[in-house]
Each structure stands twice: as C-alpha cells, then as structure tokens.
Amino acid sequence: MNIIESYTALIESNGGIVTEAGAVLKPTKKQDPFLIGDKPVVLPTKYYLDRNDWDDVHPFHPYCEDVLLGQSPTFHFLTDIIRCNLTLKYSALIKDILTIATTKELQSRVANPEANKLLTVFPDAKATAIANWNKVYATFAKGGHFSDIFIGRNNTIDKKLYFRVGRVKFPIIEDDNDSTLLGASLTKKDTTGIRNIVTKLMKPVPTEYRSNHDLPYLDVLMQYYKAMAEHFNATIALFGDVITTKPIPMEWLEGWEDVARLRKRIPKLPGNAGVRIETADIRNSGVEADEDIYENIKVRPVKDTSERPPFVPDSPADRTPPRREAPKGRSILDVRSPREMDEPERTSVLGRLGDRHDRREVRGRDTRDRGYSPRSSTPARRRGRSILDT
C-alpha cells in the first residue's frame, strides 16, 4: 500500500469519496467537495505535487504531523469526519438493536448469547423506543456526536509523561436526566432503556488513549478510531444477518501500521504539520493558536512517476540524487565524487581532470625553468641560502 492508497482507504472508511484525480468528496447526491476553510480537500497525488500550488486547494497529508506543534487544520478535518462517521454508524446500529428488541421474530434468530445479553438491558421494549431514538438522532444534526474525543498535550500518568492523551466521552451515557436524552423529550422508560443499551454496548471500549508516537495527535485519534470501528464490527458479527448495518472497512489499518515508511514519501505540506503553540498556558491546556507556520512554505515537487520520490531513498542504489544543472557559484553540496557518477560522466570528468593536470605540469616546468616556484611568484631560492644572505 502506498501513501495515496492509505489516505484513500482512510477517507473511504469514513464514507468519503476519492476521485481518480485525488479530490475528496462528500457522500451526498451532489458529491460536493469537502472543504478545509474555503479550499477543496485533495490528496497529494503526483498531479498536485508537480503543480506545487496550494493557493486554491488544501492537501490531505496528516502523516507529516510535527510532534512539537498543535493540531493542524487537516487533523481537525479528519477528527470531524471520523466523529461524524462513527455517529452515523452507531446510530444505525442502535436502531437495529432496538428493532430486534421490539420484534420477537428477529429475537428468535439471534443465536449468540452475548448478543442476547445486550437485548435484556431493555426488557419489554416497544415500538415507541425506535421513534424516540430517532428524536435523539436528530440532535446530532445540530452539531452533537455519539462520542467525542478530547486530546491534551504533555500529560503525566502514573509518573510517566505522554506527548498526547485522548479522553473519550459518550454524551448519552453522561446525560442523567430521567425524561430527556440530549435535549430530546422521551418517556422515562425509553430514556432509561436507550441509555442502558448504549452503556452496555460501549462498556468494552477504552475511554483513554496515550501516545509517545512521532505523530502523537494522529496516533491517539487512530487508536480511538480503531477501537470504535473494531468494536462496531464485532457487535455486528454477534447478531449475524439479523443486523442490516454494514461493517466499517478496516483496510486503512494496513497503511497506518506502515506509517513510519509512508510518512517519508512526501514532504511537509501546508496546513498539515501543525500550528505553533505560543505560551506555556496554551500549550498545557491543549488549545492551539490559529497561525499555520507552514502556510507559506513551498515544497519541492515530485519529478518522477515512481512510488519512490527521488528525495526518499529506500536502498543504497537509490541514495544518489539525480544530477542537477547548476549555475556558476553552485553550492558545494551539489558536487559529487567520481564514484557517484555513471561511466560516461566519470570518464568525461576524469578526462578533464587529466587535461588540467597535464597543463599544470607544463606550467610548473616552465616556471621552474625561469627560476620561479610553481606555487609562488617569488624567485626560487638556492639551496642553503637564507634571505638574510641576499
């Protein structure tokens, strides 16, 4: 899996659409582009890297996160689509569970005892529970989510310092009102029953994630997404074909597990590495400033068509950079030794060096014949004579 395939799998697992050109679209009828700020989101494909113009598009490259910086606009975007996707998926799953709990025929088809344990926390559920769950689901359209993750910086837990720590909240579980749930008016029975199902369903999922990874924000988010997605798929498996909700694709995990290699494929791109944290108070509170220090940075475009850009060698054979045409006064870093050159170039260079050496020898003999040293314009001194003897 290359980096574009990894990003594609991650976005598509959250319901997004990625076009062949690399545009990231919403899963709606119009398929409008996702926006970060006022710019359409695109993957850093060769087309966009060759253009190297980010004035009108926003590259999706979260693997270039900088551990010293705050949350980037790309990270906020990724967090949002993950939370939205999990909200949609778990809402559909709970509706399926309530449908089974209120339908005896479907209950008879549930063979797994673990699945039955989930149904027993809401005994005698009626059809009104499904209608009331729809009311709760409607509150998510106002900006709420089924679960929320909050990531702080530099937390010490059990005497160990972690770069980032993420804590998860489930608003439905924390809402202790008897007759409303997330502001939606329900009967007391349905309020308690739905909350019991959500509590039982989410109990195995961790509510804290810690990271000292090179990409700590992204690592915490991926830990959370992996735990939520795997638990979702495992719950679907418990109910078998009784559940109509489809599992969350997990192919993106292959890319994340190989992130140490993939992150080197493309350099840092604007809006992805993070934002500067100005003060200790802000740094410790996890609140980030708005300034993107990579906003005006221009990166070197990819010139080849292979999966390995020239600036990311994978083997000793790849470590020789392509020869560049340089003007006079070029940097010493551009100079290569003969052993790094191919045969025609090495022969040409060594030939020129030989010619220069021959000219130097002739010039040396000529100056010695006239009584001058080849290394100086000072007359050569006869052996044993001091300048004081002149």
Q: What does the pLDDT look like over 278-337, one tens digit per residue?
A: 644 444 434 333 333 223 323 223 233 333 333 333 444 443 444 444 444 444 334 444
- Nearest-CA neighbor of 168 among 254, 226, 246? 226
Count of CB atoms within 10 A of residue 336's CB? 14
DSSP state for residue 210 in the 8-state scheme:
E
Residues 139-164: what's their mean pLDDT?
A: 92
Q: Is the pLDDT of residue 104 over 80?
A: yes
- Helical pair 73-101 and 188-202, crossing angle rounded to 10 deg: 120
| Cβ atoms within 10 Å of 370's Cβ, excluding its own | 8
For 260, the token pair is 């140490």
Helices 73-101 & 216-239, crossing angle to 10 degrees?
A: 20
Farthest-apart Cα atoms in the chain, separation: 123
Q: What pLDDT is recorded for position 192?
A: 94
Query: Can you name the residues that pair with 148 across neighbouring β-strands?
Result: 169
- What is the C-alpha separation between 299 and 352, in angstroms, rounded? 36
Q: How many CB atoms neighbour CB 101 within 10 A?
A: 24
Q: Give strand pairing partners of 329.
A: none
Report which of 169, 167, 192, 197 is spatially closest to residue 181, judged by C-alpha positions: 192
CA 177 to chain centre: 38
CA angle 142, 143, 148 (to 5 degrees): 145
Q: Look at residue 385 in the predicted model and tell me its pLDDT.
A: 47
143 or 165, higher pLDDT = 165
If one compares 254 and 311, the residue with the highest pLDDT of the two is: 254
Query: Taking a C-beta distance cutoff of 8 angstroms, is the pair 272, 64 a contact?
Result: yes
- Confidence band (pLDDT; 50, 70, 90) for 6? very high
What's the burial of 94, exposed, middle or buried (CB within 10 Å: 0-12/13-18/19+)? buried
